[in-house]
């Protein structure tokens, strides 16, 4: 089955001695992806919207992808857990989701996610644009590669600093009185779907973590391999279970605060999309595979070449059986 690819032909000498193709990125026609988490299952304000079903070599994505327009930029929206919240954090088909977005020309992703706060100063209903991760998941597929092809992407700065700055500037300008936007911070990604124990929550606080969630690290890792710039708008819904003066997190608490944040998050994403349309910011993420493909092309199994052709075409040219 063919899954499609894109890329431009040219020439460049790669580190493995092969003649590679030109990896220039045409951001003038690129799309913006929006991944909605718990409580954000649709995207308001999209004009000329249509739904598409994408087949991927990693199986079906979480749901149909909705394509529309905000100003001069086309936006692709995907509900991370499905529109009816059908996938646990570990069941989310992350690889299919990111492959589908990349196949539709997405080169920037804004992720909207619910998180618990691990620090006093990050109050429920505040928002955070984090800049670091600690991963505590245990059962996720965290690479698009493998099966005869090794890629080592740089992940020291897991969120795109350019896109995150743009998102934080927009969010800070729109925060209502009494609520804050926090720039930077460490996102602890746990397996879920249960919330933390008190001992775990205190441990993560002792590590200096700022917020806790269940999805974004996996997503960001795969986005980097897909050469997509990635940033997160994290919506604090609770104090997890560490805070002695506040009730421990419950589903009801999370849902109530998600509803309170929903319209603000929609507004922030709409304005951020307009900024992306105006600036079309380049990112080092857009060339993440340039020096990352370690296996000589001649040694990569044909089935693997076909599976990752969408990603490797800018460097190796299109796969042909």
Cα separation of 243 and 159, whole Å? 28
**Active-site option among 135, 210, 240, 309:** 240
How many C-beta neighbours within 10 Å does residue 120 have? Answer: 11
The owner of tokens 């299952």 is 41
Radius of gyration of the chain (CA): 19
| Closest C-alpha to 126, from 165, 177, 196 | 177
The owner of tokens 């505040």 is 126
**Token pair of 155, please?**
């992940």
Rounded (to 5) percent helix, strand, coil in the chain:
30, 20, 50
Q: Per CATH, is 31-314 categorized as 3.40.630.30? A: no
Q: Would you give the DSSP letter of residue 24?
A: -
Cα separation of 79 and 63, whole Å? 7
**Token pair of 312, please?**
């490797």
Inter-CA distances, 71 with 32, 172, 269, 320, Å: 12, 21, 13, 38
Return the pLDDT at 222.
98
Return the pLDDT at 15.
38
Q: What is the pLDDT along the chain (321 residues), one digit of tens a residue?
A: 445 333 322 233 333 434 445 556 789 999 999 999 776 777 888 899 999 999 999 999 999 999 999 988 999 999 999 999 999 999 999 999 999 999 999 999 999 999 999 999 999 999 999 999 999 999 999 999 999 999 999 999 999 999 999 999 999 999 999 999 999 999 999 999 999 999 999 999 999 999 999 999 999 999 999 999 999 999 998 888 887 766 665 666 667 777 778 889 999 999 999 999 999 999 999 999 999 999 999 999 999 999 999 999 999 999 986
Cα separation of 169 and 184, whole Å? 12
Inter-CA distances, 92 with 65, 85, 190, 215, 304, Å: 15, 10, 14, 8, 22
The owner of tokens 């936006």 is 75
**Active-site option among 126, 135, 238, 309:** 238
Is 240 annotated in the active site? yes
pTM: predicted TM-score of the whole model, two decimal places: 0.90
Is 63 annotated in the active site? no
- The values of phi and psi at residue 102, to 5°, are -65, -35
């Amino acid at each position: 089955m063919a899954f499609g690819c894109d890329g431009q032909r040219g020439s460049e000498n790669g580190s493995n001695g092969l003649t590679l193709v030109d990896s220039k990125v045409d951001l003038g026609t690129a799309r913006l992806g929006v991944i909605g988490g718990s409580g954000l299952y649709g995207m308001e304000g999209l004009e000329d919207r249509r739904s598409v079903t994408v087949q991927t070599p990693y199986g079906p994505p979480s749901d149909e992808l909705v394509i529309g327009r905000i100003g001069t930029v086309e936006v692709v929206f995907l509900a991370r857990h499905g529109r009816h919240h059908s996938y646990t954090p570990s069941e989310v088909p992350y690889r299919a989701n990111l492959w589908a977005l990349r196949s539709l020309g997405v080169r920037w992703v804004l992720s909207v996610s619910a998180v618990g706060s691990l620090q006093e100063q990050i109050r429920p209903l505040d928002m955070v644009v984090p800049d670091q991760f600690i991963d505590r998941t245990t059962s996720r597929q965290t690479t698009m590669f493998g099966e005869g092809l090794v890629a080592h992407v740089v992940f020291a700065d897991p969120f795109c600093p350019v896109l995150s700055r743009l998102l934080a500037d927009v969010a800070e300008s729109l925060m209502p009185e009494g609520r804050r936007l926090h720039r930077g911070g460490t996102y602890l990604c746990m397996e879920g779907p249960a919330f933390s124990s008190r001992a775990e929550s205190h441990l993560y606080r002792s590590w200096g973590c700022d917020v806790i969630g269940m999805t974004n690290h996996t997503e960001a890792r795969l986005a980097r391999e897909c050469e997509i710039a990635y940033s997160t708008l994290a919506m604090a819904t609770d104090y997890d279970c560490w805070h002695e003066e506040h009730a421990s997190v419950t589903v009801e608490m999370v849902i109530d605060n998600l509803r309170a944040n929903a319209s603000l998050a929609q507004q922030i994403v709409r304005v951020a999309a307009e900024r992306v349309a105006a600036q079309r910011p380049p990112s080092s993420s857009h060339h993440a595979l340039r020096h990352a493909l370690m296996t000589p092309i001649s040694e990569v199994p044909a089935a693997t070449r076909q599976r990752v052709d969408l990603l490797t075409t800018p460097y190796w040219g299109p796969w042909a059986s």
